Structure 1
Amino acid sequence: MKKRRSAISIMGSLIGLVKPLLHIMLAAIILGTAGYLCAIFLTILAGQVIVHGVIARGAGSIKTIITVMIIIAVLRGILHYAEQYCNHFIAFKLLAIIRHKVFAALRKLCPAKLEGRDKGNLISIITTDIELLEVFYAHTISPIAIAALTSLVMVFFIGRYHWLAGILALAAYLVVGVVIPMWNGRRGSQMGMEFRTNFGELNSFVLDSLRGLDETIQYDQGEKRKEQMSERSRSLAGMQEKLSKMEGTQRSFTNLVILLASFGMLALTVWLYGKEEIGFEGILTCTIAMMGSFGPVVALSSLSNNLNQTLASGERVLSLLEETPMVEEISGNVDIRTDSDNEISNTSIVSENTDNDIRNQNNSPEKEKYILRGILTGRAKNSVNVFSGAEAQHVTFAYENETILDDYSLKLEPGKITGIHGASGSGKSTLLKLLMRFWDVNQGSVSVDGEDIRKIQTRHLRDMESYVTQETHLFHDSIANNIAVGSPGASREAIIEAAKKASIHDFIMKLPKGYDTEVGELGDTLSGGEKQRIGIARAFLHDSPLILMDEPTSNLDSLNEGIILKSLREASEKKTVILVSHRKSTMNIVDTVFEMKDGRIS
């Protein structure tokens, strides 16, 4: 089990994210400190009215004090608003930054580290955990600094009347603002983390139940799922109740300390008055100052109630951000030396701007494909465009301790369709994922167009490959935009052409809005075969030299399968295709069939 971080470590890491907005944070601290001092001295000045009115009988002084009180009261409102504005500006700005960082981290972790991971827990991190950090950034960082600065000012102010009074004030502030929060934090930190984890697991269970609603109804499992959900909810409610009791206990101790400190200050100043070490003004002012100056430290003490959950959320977010991907993406410029007589040595991969320029040139399709391929692989051939296929050489790969491929070799001939057949779990899909570099091999190598894929820029490698998975994911968008995922910015004509090759065009045209029809969340408005054909259309639109298809026709009828296979056969004249399928009818179009068994091929 991974060791928990300390609260200080979590807070330090979260505070580190504030660096770009440090100037605003400093402004919030100054404004907040000034605002609290205004509120405190409002009551102190009221005491001064009593002193000057009853004892000194100074009418002029009273008018001056009242005028100052009015100004301070107005300032208090303005300063408090400005402080809250700064804090929330920082909070929401940082939450946006953190969300971007989390999605960037997820992008790097995909798919190797996220395959099979608890999706509900991830959703909980992305939503509620990040949202809870608003409490930390808006109501934790600056309140700590404000409480420290305000307490320091008040210790010196009260200590000006007598040093013992200053010591008492300092002790009271430390107990309320430091000792009690730390005590409450220690006893509730583990439960806070458990609460956030269980909350994420409940999200996963609810999400799983919604996705399996049809099966739940069909097999009459509704009551069982309902009871399981109720049990999880009761467990979560029980933990929430315990956390609430801790919060109540903490508040009781805080109020008790404030009460004891206030009466203690009164008793101390009266005793000092009896010893003629302090005047009546000192008794009144010190006691009022003590009673009215706990606001900042009380706010700090109250933070510990929610801080346990906030820090638990922070730890979950930080852990995700700090996870190292199993496959490191390759980016930037790479120099690749090739040995072919028709290749230019030491050709650098050009920048993405040049890449985009070449994409937009009005070259012939063959010339454009040739130039683009040179960019993608780091080569620049001065002969005709010839894609040299792909190859796996003595590959060994395992998911943790389960070996899937063992000393496996396969050569994919260019311009041909290679079929791979085998039982479930024999490693067929794993091979395609290795070609896509979703995972890295444990031993051996995988090459595309004559280059080890670990040396090719990841973005360019993916541009060279079209990958059709067994399960096609559709976004909650129009059919046209879902197909255009294969080539963002593609024209409507290109999308329609790809749809025709995938035998989905006629179906789309029968829909009320045609290509602009919304597919619904997770594509629930379409059948499995229709979703599969949209996925195939994406691959055709991507128009890459290497096409990888994993059971592409498993949900299709014979007619649609035939149309798609015909399109694949025609496309294979200029492309390299690898086709994984259980269907014998699908294997009829392949040039070579390999049988895969126990991570080996024949």
Structure 2
Amino acid sequence: MTRTTTGIPERGALRALLPVLLAHRATTVRTFAAALLSQSALVALVALAAHTVGAAVTEGTPPDPGTVLALTGLVVLRAVVTWWEMDLSHDLAYRVLAELRIRVFDGLARSAPARVEGRESGDLASAALADVEALEFFYAHAVAQLAASATVFGAGAVVLGGVEPGLLPPVLLAAGLLVLLPLLDGRSRARRAARTRQAAARLSARTVETVDGLPELLAFGALDRSRERLRADGRELGGAQRAEQTWEAGSAAARDLLVTGAVVGVVAVAGHQIGGAWAPAALALAS
């Protein structure tokens, strides 16, 4: 991923990770299909289970054999398709990572001298390949899954609108904010992450330098000063990590609050406009 001199990814850096998938179109499409089927099965299972429970509570109607069979089938389908999606997504991710490793290694072999800015080329290759490994989550758990989630959400919104148009405003408002807030916070999140990475890199480099230069530090009586620098670097890293984790915890709380607000809105509408067993089913679908 391309970064600026401050360590913050450039705009469009995330999109630059997508073209490599063009060489794996078939696997990408299969992964998307598996993720779509898995998420659809989960939504259908939850909605049908909620409708079944609602019918039993509000109408005193036990589930018929067809409903039980459908629930069982959805459970089995969800389990099988989830395994299939995991298998496909990780196969895709590791194929892409293998290709990226080759590109990175070839690029370093062609362009890097023995040392670059005081760092050995082997150290640079190790750092670059570690960055490639960090992309595993993106390719295995994000691309196809996000596309499938968007598709399932769109289909669910259509169904909700068909059941009761009044259910859509709280759901669409919460969904819009959930999409918008990370985009607005993207640059500041990148700055916090860059600060943490840089602090961790400084502490790691200082630790290696201290261990490598231990005889000289002891000989010149500079070990205490080196320890103090290590403690300062550790405090800086701890502060950066606390700031990042505190903000992420607040962001997670805000997301939970938005989802809760959407659920409350759906409950308020469903309580007045939808009766019987369909109310819990609509609530489950909106959630």
Please state which band the TM-score falls in when normalised by the shorter chain: 0.7 to 0.9
Give the direction of change, closer, same or farther, for the CA distance of 1:55–1:270 in structure 2 (3 Å limit): closer
- Structure 1 residue matching 2:259: 3-state secondary structure: helix
Q: Which amino acid aligns with 2:151?
A: L
Matched with 2:14 is 11
Looking at structure 2, the residues matched to 58 and 153 of structure 1 have their Cα atoms a distance apart, in angstroms, of: 29
Shift of residue 6, structure 1, vs aligned partner: 4.2
Q: In the alignment, is residue 191 of structure 1 matched against residue 187 of structure 2?
A: no
Q: Which amino acid aligns with 2:255?
A: T
Shift of residue 121, structure 1, vs aligned partner: 7.4
Q: In the alignment, is residue 110 of structure 1 matched against residue 106 of structure 2?
A: no
Matched with 1:289 is 285
Output one character per residue of 1:42-78: Cα deviation in whole Å (capped at 9) or x when no partner: 221122223544566655x522112111111111112
User: Residue 28 of structure 2 is aligned with which of 3, 16, 25?
Assistant: 25
Give the direction of change, closer, same or farther, for the CA distance of 1:131–1:231 in structure 2 (3 Å limit): farther
Q: Which amino acid aligns with 1:65?
A: T
Matched with 2:149 is 147
Matched with 1:377 is none
Give the direction of change, closer, same or farther, for the CA distance of 1:201–1:5 in structure 2 (3 Å limit): same
Shift of residue 279, structure 1, vs aligned partner: 4.1
- What are the ranges of 5 or more consecutive residues in structure 2 without an aligned counterpart? none
Highest CA radius of gyration, 1 or 2?
Answer: 1
Scaled by the length of structure 2, what TM-score is found? 0.86
Shift of residue 164, structure 1, vs aligned partner: 2.6
Higher relative contact order, structure no. (Cα contacts within 8 Å, ≥ 6 residues apart): 2
- What are the ranges of 5 or more consecutive residues in structure 1 without an aligned counterpart? 292-602
Matched with 1:425 is none
Q: In the alignment, is residue 261 of structure 1 matched against residue 257 of structure 2?
A: no
Give the direction of change, closer, same or farther, for the CA distance of 1:53–1:116 in structure 2 (3 Å limit): closer
Shift of residue 115, structure 1, vs aligned partner: 3.5
Shift of residue 257, structure 1, vs aligned partner: 0.9
Superposed CA RMSD = 2.6
Shift of residue 83, structure 1, vs aligned partner: 1.4
Looking at structure 2, the residues matched to 137 and 33 of structure 1 have their Cα atoms a distance apart, in angstroms, of: 16
Looking at structure 1, the residues matched to 81 and 171 of structure 2 have their Cα atoms a distance apart, in angstroms, of: 25
Give the direction of change, closer, same or farther, for the CA distance of 1:168–1:116 in structure 2 (3 Å limit): closer
Matched with 1:47 is 50
Looking at structure 1, the residues matched to 111 and 257 of structure 2 have their Cα atoms a distance apart, in angstroms, of: 50
Looking at structure 1, the residues matched to 276 and 61 of structure 2 have their Cα atoms a distance apart, in angstroms, of: 16
Identity %: 20
Matched with 1:70 is 72
Matched with 1:222 is 223
- Structure 2 residue matching 1:150: 3-state secondary structure: helix
Looking at structure 1, the residues matched to 184 and 34 of structure 2 have their Cα atoms a distance apart, in angstroms, of: 29
Scaled by the length of structure 1, what TM-score is found? 0.43
Looking at structure 2, the residues matched to 232 and 118 of structure 1 have their Cα atoms a distance apart, in angstroms, of: 20
Residues 54 and 277, structure 2, Cα contact 8 Å, conserved in 1: yes
Output one character per residue of 1:329-362: Cα deviation in whole Å (capped at 9) or x when no partner: xxxxxxxxxxxxxxxxxxxxxxxxxxxxxxxxxx
User: Residue 125 of structure 1 is aligned with which of 124, 127, 133?
Assistant: 127
Alignment of 1:345-356 (within 5 A): none
Q: Which amino acid aligns with 1:102?
A: V
- Structure 2 residue matching 1:193: 3-state secondary structure: helix
Q: Which has the higher strand share?
A: 1
Residues 54 and 278, structure 2, Cα contact 8 Å, conserved in 1: no
- Structure 1 residue matching 2:135: 3-state secondary structure: helix
Q: In the alignment, is residue 182 of structure 1 matched against residue 183 of structure 2?
A: yes
Output one character per residue of 1:190-217: Cα deviation in whole Å (capped at 9) or x when no partner: 1212222333333333333333333233
Matched with 1:35 is 38
Looking at structure 1, the residues matched to 221 and 199 of structure 2 have their Cα atoms a distance apart, in angstroms, of: 26
- Structure 2 residue matching 1:160: 3-state secondary structure: helix
Looking at structure 1, the residues matched to 218 and 58 of structure 2 have their Cα atoms a distance apart, in angstroms, of: 83
Residues 118 and 204, structure 1, Cα contact 8 Å, conserved in 2: no
Q: In the alignment, is residue 247 of structure 1 matched against residue 243 of structure 2?
A: no
